[in-house]
Structure 1
């Protein structure tokens, strides 16, 4: 029996917000206000408040948010930055593009996140920062990692590209380190109609330096052709800010829906060979992805695909095994490597129905157990 369950459903979210933003969107298009302006400032204000910090700087994408933060912190040649290898390549690429050296670590076998112990083992005299990745919408042990980082005198930079609205002990992802870096790629929990990103921080000087670097090195208040730094062009555009502000008003509601669906997955798949990533006490997992681990991953995905159920793989090649980054790999990282072979992502989005959830879990149970599909 064939069903149709997409991996995600971005148009459903757009349909929710479009009636409310259509007039403002059209006005921006027809007046030519495409860069900056009140909509961007308003979104930055709202996003900072939502994250529980004083400053937010909109940038062009999440990768730029990471790189600009490192540059604004003065991290570059001769410096090391600790990076968990189980992440999207952008985390490590930002370190390399800033001129620094990524030091790859393994991750916890249950949560697949960086731990304080793994960080402590990776720190050297050259370490300047750690990139804490809140992968899949989960939140790493910020308290423990923060203690290790303070003792070593290094910065904590949060890669929260997948953790919009996630919390640990009541504190939002992105608000615990010197800076939090977000992506608003369309598929994120808070996604734009194109690319977008932001850096959030309580440090006003860091915020201003990121803003200047992202705007061709212009400092606040300087003339259009006066440049204090060699910067780049990485600005959140007006149309994306309009869409993001509207979606932000629904983010908690959509996150609650994701959490309820994730709970449904956990209940339905309990007792099966499917391993779901762990969540520690005190964490409000935002469930950007519902990640499972199974033997014969590719075969299982193919069986689901034949039933019309779309899945994803995040990520089939860990960072330290990527060709341009292999020179930074100093040792095997067995947990990351095992996860790369076995992990895949199940359909999860706010508009997924209970009926679709039942179909996915039934088909997955049949695929991993070798039972024939029900008629």
Structure 2
């Protein structure tokens, strides 16, 4: 029982991330550093090739972080200054920052109360003569309703891009996140499903020309020979993926499916244990036939969110209100003025429970027991 004590359950055990396979991680870091290859050397090439094969995509360009992946993708796509890009208010600020710094105007819209992802009807309603693109954001490891978004985009001549930071390997009807639009962006922040020991990201695309442009942009406009021609036509930046991160990511990719299988197992246990609690709204379970969710997070909603969080904290169980409970549209000083009551209600009720592949069965048992005790 919860009240009888049990193992502590931090929301995320940062030390365990390295301790999991410390000997192998240490060897990889030593070998990579000892080789003298630190910037855009073979480890980066190897990781890009491995991830491209995993996703079935033509090009993977490793970069410093997901925010820069989106920024470079938008710039390489030729986003016009002042162009509007529609995205969900239920998203991290990074996508909007990328749109802003690329010269565009982010336009946040409502989420769907069905799956807590962007509402296609809200996207359609937000289109104006200045709209140029839709940015799908696949939150918590679940792919957005891409069929509807692609249909809307085709009707109005809009581009589609994907913030897939939380969705590496997630699928809808057999198609992986990041391959629906012109490009997709992924994050390898340490707590992500595929995380390194620092910041890193990647842009993926099947567009040869866009890939070459992004490769140049990440390295000051340099070509594949790493030289900057006097005839360079691309304003570049420094957004390179470091070799140390790439080497770790390439290794982690070899057992990535095992990590996702464990996450889905934990999600299935949560779903089964909490399905009968009327006061607790759950995310879709892992059994959906046309979807494969990777459960970057397990997010629940209830009116007594704060009391539930306090109860779990008193029992040594860590939780998080994602992004501080702030919807994108609530950043008024950044110029947003949208009124999104569904998204506001969601953030007032939502809570992330512990979810990662390192959780023990005992820790999962304790989370379940303590949540059920609260609602008993």
Give the alignment's TM-score, normalised by structure 2: 0.93
**Which residue does 1:306 correspond to in 2?**
314
**Which residue does 2:295 correspond to in 1?**
287
**Which residue does 1:173 correspond to in 2?**
177
- Greater Cα offset, 22-31 or 41-50: 22-31
5+ residue gaps, structure 1, are none
Structure 2: distance between partners of 1:222 and 1:294: 53
**Which residue does 2:235 correspond to in 1?**
230
- Does the 8 Å CA contact 2:28/2:248 hold for their aligned counterparts? no
How much has 1:361 moved relative to structure 2? 1.6
Q: Superposed, which structure 2 residues align to 1:112-191 within 5 Å?
A: 112-191=116-195
How much has 1:281 moved relative to structure 2? 4.8
User: In angstroms, what is the RMSD of aligned CA positions?
Assistant: 1.7
Structure 2: distance between partners of 1:336 and 1:213: 35
- Does the 8 Å CA contact 1:265/1:361 hold for their aligned counterparts? yes
How much has 1:125 moved relative to structure 2? 1.6
Select 2:282's aligned residue among 269, 273, 276: 276
Structure 1: distance between partners of 2:292 and 2:56: 15
**Which residue does 1:58 correspond to in 2?**
62
Structure 2: distance between partners of 1:154 and 1:6: 43
Structure 2: distance between partners of 1:282 and 1:194: 34
- Does the 8 Å CA contact 1:9/1:349 hold for their aligned counterparts? no
**Which residue does 1:329 correspond to in 2?**
337
- Does the 8 Å CA contact 1:209/1:219 hold for their aligned counterparts? no
Structure 1: distance between partners of 2:228 and 2:373: 63
Structure 2: distance between partners of 1:112 and 1:289: 13
* Aligned length in residues: 367
- Does the 8 Å CA contact 1:165/1:251 hold for their aligned counterparts? no
**Which residue does 2:38 correspond to in 1?**
34
- Does the 8 Å CA contact 2:163/2:185 hold for their aligned counterparts? yes
**Which residue does 2:246 correspond to in 1?**
241
Give the alignment's TM-score, normalised by structure 1: 0.93
Residue aligned with 2:95, SS: helix
5+ residue gaps, structure 2, are none
How much has 1:16 moved relative to structure 2? 4.2
Structure 1: distance between partners of 2:192 and 2:104: 28
1:19-56 residue CA offsets vs partner (Å, 9 max, x unmatched): 34533421222343211111100100111121121000
* Displacement over 4 Å in runs of 4+: none
Change (3 A) 1:237 1:287: same
- Does the 8 Å CA contact 2:65/2:200 hold for their aligned counterparts? yes
**Which residue does 2:347 correspond to in 1?**
340
Residue aligned with 1:328, SS: coil
